[in-house]
A and B are shown apart, each in its own frame.
With several copies, the nearest count.
Chain A
Amino acid sequence: MKIHEYQAKEIFSRYGIPVTRETVCYTPDEVVAAAEKSGYPCVVKAQVLTGGRGKAGGVKLVKNKEEAREAATSILGMDIKGYTVEKVLLAEGVKFQSEIYVGLTIDRNSKSVILMTSREGGVEIEEVAKENPDAIIKVPIDADLGMQPFLARKIAFRLFDDFNLVKQAADIFQKMYKICLDTDASLVEINPLVITDDNQLLALDGKMNFDENALYRQPEIEKLYEPDENELKEIEAKEKGLSYIKLDGNIGFMVNGAGLAMATMDMIKMYGGEPANFLDVGGSSNPQKVIDAMNLILSDEKVNAIMINIFGGITRGDDIAKGLISALEQLDVKVPIVVRLSGTNAKEGLEILRGTNLTVVESMTEAAKKAIELSAH
């Protein structure tokens, strides 16, 4: 789960990390008022839950009232990677000497929180990683020990010679670590953290992602959730026990199991088809789940063929077939459906399905090819 820059910086500020003075604005008038109060130059920044706003023209330095209004008018309402800009941040203009990157995230290999920092801040860390990997300092944090003062200081000494900056950075590292644990964050990032002209560290930008599995114990964070249209659909699906992601193609899917679902999509793509969605219906042969899943797939108007790929495990294939039939009877599906069933009692299941108007096949390959063929009509 993502939050906006201004929300991340509000959290930083609450923990005592110095951030730019700034105001969230929803209209050009608000932007102009805030800019007049802040003084010039200042910065108008699009608040959208996606990256790349800089390249999209969503961040503008303004030097006077006219520029402020102009920037606000152009940025508010702008589309950035499918996200409409509904609010902007008016932030003070800051003179700085250099830009630092600092990020805390979860590292799968060390199975710990890891701190990444680099003197080459201001650009995306992935770019630094590709072009100059040695410029990135990575330190896994022992979960028992946490971000001890000595450790924070040790890392900071690798960034700065000036002890004044070392102390400020060490303090920020410790606070970011505490934020990470306190909020169940999966990413706590300051990029750039700048050294101002009077030698103070200041967070110019802020980014936080959160572990969705932990939202149940983070009510304050959950309140900040602003799902977009697709995410709303995903959440709705989740509430019905379905794992759904909208994609751009025309062949709808229903599979039991996330891995099998990915493999199924991959195969469609391999044979030249385009998946319309990822959809894992999980275990059980519950007809209601199938109905919910079909409704979800069909809510996407681009879908002109559906492939159902089910593996009978503990739930037997014949029971699954019966569940499918019972569900499909209650729906009026106009697009062709290919069903492939394998695993426990697959044969018995296929026998049952053969009596219907579903296209029944035995292998994944066959199913993929058939679905593509049907979608082309």
Chain B
Amino acid sequence: MSILVNKNTRLIVQGITGRDGGFHTAKMKAYGTNVVGGVSPGKGGQTVEGLPVFNTVEEAVKQTGANTSILFVPAPFAADGILEASEAGIELVIAITEGIPTLDMVRIMPYLKKKGTKLIGPNCPGLITPDEALVGILPGNIFKKGNVGLISRSGTLTYEMVNQLTTNGIGQSTCVGIGGDPVAGLYFQDLLEMYQNDPETDAVVLIGEIGGDAEEQAAAFIKNKMTKPVVAFIAGQSAPPGKRMGHAGAIISSGSGTAEEKIAAFEAAGVPVARKPEDIPVLIKRALQYG
């Protein structure tokens, strides 16, 4: 099972002829992901990494039966690319692109909802179901198949955590980087629900950060709806208010969105919060034993 991506994933790469698109297409293919083609307007008929390139997503879907798309499209055109994928019937869209204007995301959200398109990102590293499908820019080699789900607003911090899990012998069902932007697709609560319903996931690691109140909502959801154990880490306890800490969404606004509030919400929901990344493997082991 796992969630969102697996052996049944048929992936196309929007922006496959770009530098990043091409590079990561090779990486994803090498990992074993079923990449079936790419899209690049005006480059239809070419091949990249042995894959056919199409002018439109519609054409790519028709020719390859793709159900998932990953975008390496420059920010000014990315929202349009997401819409194109949605309109063409793609079920799951992963937007790697950083720097998309927030109102572009706001504008496309109702359409994605109407079409039932799931979106991961933007400004995210993507996701992976170890040994089945890598859809993103994550380093595949650090992951290991297992029973722990992971959701994170961060990139490298996620790899750091996963590396510690893997080196401690703890494998992962699926790891999802939901991205660092304020307006994004699937978020903590949506994914927690998926993990709760996934028979291959026994516990979840949630990596939050300052900004917004998604962690607080996740805490409420865990308390009310989840039976599987969750452990959390929150980055940005030392961040000053009013400054964007690298991610567009990582900002403490007028005293709300602080790490303290988030940690308190998790603790009130009975979710253990790691003081430092290195504590996560210990907490997960404990959770799996007693959870």
Q: Do A and B contact each other directly (Cβ–Cβ < 8 Å)?
A: yes
A residues in contact (CB < 8 Å) with B: 106, 108-109, 111-113, 124, 126, 142-145, 148-151, 153-154, 157, 163, 166-167, 180-181, 184, 186, 211-214, 216-217, 243, 245, 247, 255-263, 265-270, 275, 278, 280, 311-314, 342-344, 363-365
Q: Which A residues lie within 8 Å of B157 (CB)?
A: 257, 259-260, 262-263
> B210 and A262: CB pair below 8 A?
yes
Bound: A268/B239 CA distance, A: 12
> A166 and B42: CB pair below 8 A?
yes
> A214 and B101: CB pair below 8 A?
yes
> B105 and A111: CB pair below 8 A?
yes
> B83 and A213: CB pair below 8 A?
no
The one of B76, B182, B250 that contacts A258, using a Cβ cutoff of 8 Å: B250
Q: Which A residues lie within 8 Å of B248 (CB)?
A: 212-213
The number of inter-chain residue pairs (CB within 8 angstroms) is 204
Contact of B261 with A by CB under 8 A: no
> A260 and B154: CB pair below 8 A?
yes
> How big is chain B's contact interface, by range?
35 or more
Bound: A116/B181 CA distance, A: 22
Known A261-B245, A270-B276: A150·B84 in contact at CB below 8 Å: yes
- Nearest neighbor of B160 in chain A, beta-carbon distance: A311
State how many angstroms separate the Cβ of A211 from the closest Cβ of chain B. 5
The one of B77, B106, B159, B255 that contacts A113, using a Cβ cutoff of 8 Å: B106
> A258 and B247: CB pair below 8 A?
yes
Known A262-B239, A266-B235: A343·B159 in contact at CB below 8 Å: yes
The A-contacting residues of B in range 209-237, CB under 8 angstroms, are 209-210, 212-214, 217, 233, 235-237
> A143 and B180: CB pair below 8 A?
no
- Which of B136-144, B194-202, B265-273 lies at the interface with chain A? B136-144
- Nearest neighbor of B163 in chain A, beta-carbon distance: A343
The one of A143, A247, A262, A364 that contacts B250, using a Cβ cutoff of 8 Å: A262
Contact of B58 with A by CB under 8 A: yes
> A150 and B99: CB pair below 8 A?
no
State how many angstroms separate the Cβ of B136 from the closest Cβ of chain A. 11
The A-contacting residues of B in range 142-167, CB under 8 angstroms, are 142, 152-160, 163
> A259 and B58: CB pair below 8 A?
no
